[in-house]
Chains A and B, each alone.
Chain A
């Protein structure tokens, strides 16, 4: 594999396999989460309450995977006492699955909001901006998982940078919704629900950003959480 982590250089072949397996499981879980987010969004935008119900009911799978991977990581700690890059891998896996599970929760929320909203016949104009934000978030989640799969710091950094755009879009939607609420107070409830959905999407973006930060930690061994983008780039470049 093309990375500088050299996961395949252990004397124990079994250990390599264990690490590879845990990495694979995280990505399978990621695929499930991606599907949940995509389905939740579709349910919301197409006013499909039955799909929303499916999404809301399928979160348990993700939770089960989180528990299983967590346990596997504990086993690796106990049996192998990993060091250096192996240690970083196991730690970032543990953190990544927490974020993935949270994304799953947000997707479940989208599905649950979709059910009552589908019956209320919300005007499609509300959805235009939400659709745009949703597409963005989907791409971001996909890219962050790709960065994890490739151990690619550059990909992770560009994805981290794209979170700013999502935050701005969320701001814009909120402002637009507030204006609409002031103009038409009878629609406040609908507008609030749209706002919650936008909020859920924005949170998914944040969690994706976290995953990218773990990728940077995994490959470079540097903690880049809670710092601005400029400082982040500086810290990466000073090897």
Chain B
């Protein structure tokens, strides 16, 4: 038996001895039982009182009651636990401090919201970017401080990830992102992208200006080359180089034209949902197909046209024309002779108006597909130049589709088919058939 417990058993022994002694002396067994027990219980009560006082005073090390036996053991255990806790607390405090200092210098604003979208915590960057102060705004509904209607929609939507670009506060561009985490809590992050936007604008302006500046001299060069080509005084051996130079000049002109189209699409403002005129796409398609059949694809390609002539859309006509032309030309240019190209204009299951162009050519490798809509990206550079591609056609198509809130899907199976689908949203559909 360990030492404290033996002390305790000695106490019990002493009580029993006292009991027998009193019984022997007085002969009264009731007194003999009660007296030692009362003394023992009062002593226990006193010990308990001391322990309680010590616990409630906050376990001060100097004021620990001096006890032996099991009581001393208990006090020792409690004291040890407390020391351990203190150590842990210190460690956590250090960790928390370090975490807080790291998060507070974080360049992006971070705000933690509870399930009622009330602010629980925010870092220093939140004050700079959104004017939200950690202490002052705690408990405030986030929608009270960031009142932009688009953000309110974001708050109300059940999405667990919502990204938003705002001019907030005015003059600067901020990307807000609301992410659901844990049990109904939200993390709102915000970062300032004004610099990126400015850079983007500069780049766009540069492309627009450069292509504009290049166009004038190029027109002059092409003009003189044309004169020289048909001039009788030009020696015969120069004829070939001149024709070659002229075709290159024309190709460059085409590239510049495409670049200008792209930059115009980028700089003009966003199309609203209702803007545009009613466009008869099937008519446009029929014209393009008959043009192409007469020139590029003469005898070499088979073009199948299947259009729903009652299906019209509300859009910008010149841009839709460009989409149709680019997609069909692409299919013809990049496939060998004898290829069949199927063109369909139809209403799909979800009510969107779609233009589908399928060719049964060699197909595009899967890893190239995401890059197809990048500027100047070509799967096969040499061949693309041969057929007169500028590498900008699909970039233009993608841009126009985005401007009309539509999308462009590309899929391909090697040696079977390549499929381009451009779909316009439901609210742009304008059906003459009821």
Closest to B275 in A: A50
Contact with A along B114-150 (1 / 0, CB 8 A): 0000000000000000010001111111011111110
Say whether B170 contacts A30, CB under 8 Å.
no
**Chain A contacts of B272 at CB under 8 A?**
50, 54
Q: Which of the 9-residue segments A21-29, A72-80, A82-90 touches chain B?
A: A21-29
Instruction: Name the residue in A1, A32, A34 with the highest tally of chain B Cβ atoms < 10 Å from its Cβ.
Output: A1
Instruction: Name the residue in B131, B140, B169 with the highest tally of chain A Cβ atoms < 10 Å from its Cβ.
Output: B140
Q: Does B9 contact A (CB under 8 A)?
A: no
Say whether A135 contacts B143, CB under 8 Å.
no
With the chains together, A139 CA to B139 CA distance in Å? 25
B131 CB contact (under 8 Å) in A23, A28, A48, A146: A146
Say whether A1 contacts B275, CB under 8 Å.
no
Q: Does A172 contact B (CB under 8 A)?
A: no
With the chains together, A24 CA to B119 CA distance in Å? 14
Instruction: Report the minimal beta-carbon distance from B178 to chain A, rounded to whole angstroms.
Output: 16
Say whether B149 contacts A35, CB under 8 Å.
yes
Closest to A30 in B: B147
Q: Does B152 contact A (CB under 8 A)?
A: yes
**Chain A contacts of B148 at CB under 8 A?**
31, 34-35
Contact with A along B148-161 (1 / 0, CB 8 A): 11011000000000
Closest to B119 in A: A1
**Chain B contacts of A35 at CB under 8 A?**
148-149
A24 CB contact (under 8 Å) in B138, B141, B149: B141
Closest to A33 in B: B147
Say whether B136 contacts A149, CB under 8 Å.
no
Closest to B269 in A: A48
Say whether A149 contacts B170, CB under 8 Å.
no
Say whether A145 contacts B141, CB under 8 Å.
no
Determine chain A's interface SS by DSSP, over half rule.
helix
Instruction: Report the minimal beta-carbon distance from B167 to chain A, rounded to whole angstroms.
Output: 8
Closest to B274 in A: A50
Instruction: Report the minimal beta-carbon distance from B268 to chain A, rounded to whole angstroms.
Output: 12
Instruction: Report the minimal beta-carbon distance from A7 to chain B, rounded to whole angstroms.
Output: 10
Q: Does A142 contact B (CB under 8 A)?
A: yes
Q: Does A219 contact B (CB under 8 A)?
A: no
**Chain B contacts of A27 at CB under 8 A?**
141, 143-144, 147
Q: Does A150 contact B (CB under 8 A)?
A: yes
Instruction: Report the minimal beta-carbon distance from A213 to chain B, rounded to whole angstroms.
Output: 20
A31 CB contact (under 8 Å) in B135, B136, B152: B152
Instruction: Report the minimal beta-carbon distance from A104 to chain B, rounded to whole angstroms.
Output: 13
Contact with B along A141-167 (1 / 0, CB 8 A): 010011001100000000000000000
With the chains together, A2 CA to B152 CA distance in Å? 23
With the chains together, A35 CA to B150 CA distance in Å? 10
With the chains together, A169 CA to B380 CA distance in Å? 62
A38 CB contact (under 8 Å) in B136, B146, B170, B275: B170
**Chain B contacts of A48 at CB under 8 A?**
269
Closest to B170 in A: A138
Contact with B along A24-58 (1 / 0, CB 8 A): 10011011101100100000000010100010000
Q: Does A20 contact B (CB under 8 A)?
A: yes
With the chains together, A30 CA to B144 CA distance in Å? 9
Say whether B144 contacts A149, CB under 8 Å.
yes
Say whether B136 contacts A23, CB under 8 Å.
no
With the chains together, A151 CA to B169 CA distance in Å? 20
Which B240-276 residues have C-beta < 8 A from chain A?
A: 269, 272, 275
Say whether B145 contacts A146, CB under 8 Å.
yes
**Chain A contacts of B151 at CB under 8 A?**
31
With the chains together, A51 CA to B141 CA distance in Å? 31
Which B273-309 residues have C-beta < 8 A from chain A?
A: 275
**Chain A contacts of B140 at CB under 8 A?**
1, 149-150
B144 CB contact (under 8 Å) in A23, A138, A142: A23
Say whether B138 contacts A149, CB under 8 Å.
no
**Chain A contacts of B144 at CB under 8 A?**
23-24, 27, 149
**Chain B contacts of A150 at CB under 8 A?**
136-137, 140
**Chain A contacts of B169 at CB under 8 A?**
142
With the chains together, A2 CA to B145 CA distance in Å? 14
Contact with B along A191-207 (1 / 0, CB 8 A): 00000000000000000
With the chains together, A54 CA to B152 CA distance in Å? 19
Instruction: Report the minimal beta-carbon distance from A156 to chain B, rounded to whole angstroms.
Output: 15
Closest to B139 in A: A1
Instruction: Report the minimal beta-carbon distance from A15 to chain B, rounded to whole angstroms.
Output: 16
With the chains together, A188 CA to B274 CA distance in Å? 35
Instruction: Report the minimal beta-carbon distance from B55 to chain A, rounded to whole angstroms.
Output: 33
- Contacts A28-B152, A50-B272 hold; do A2 and B136 have CB atoms under 8 A apart? yes
With the chains together, A149 CA to B146 CA distance in Å? 10
Instruction: Report the minimal beta-carbon distance from A216 to chain B, rounded to whole angstroms.
Output: 18
**Chain B contacts of A142 at CB under 8 A?**
169
Say whether A32 contacts B149, CB under 8 Å.
yes
**Chain B contacts of A54 at CB under 8 A?**
272
**Chain B contacts of A31 at CB under 8 A?**
143, 146-149, 151-152
Interface of A toward B, CB cutoff 8 Å: 1-2, 8, 20, 23-24, 27-28, 30-32, 34-35, 38, 48, 50, 54, 135, 138-139, 142, 145-146, 149-150
A–B pairs, 22, beta carbons within 8 Å: A1-B139, A1-B140, A2-B135, A2-B137, A20-B141, A24-B141, A27-B147, A28-B152, A30-B147, A31-B143, A31-B148, A32-B147, A35-B149, A38-B170, A48-B269, A50-B275, A54-B272, A135-B170, A138-B170, A146-B145, A149-B145, A150-B136
Contacts A20-B141, A31-B152, A50-B272 supplied; 9 other A-B pairs, CB < 8 Å: A23-B144, A24-B144, A27-B147, A28-B143, A32-B147, A34-B148, A138-B170, A150-B136, A150-B137
| 8 cross-chain pairs, A with B, having the tightest CB-CB distances, nearest first | A31-B147, A1-B139, A149-B144, A27-B144, A24-B141, A2-B136, A35-B149, A32-B149
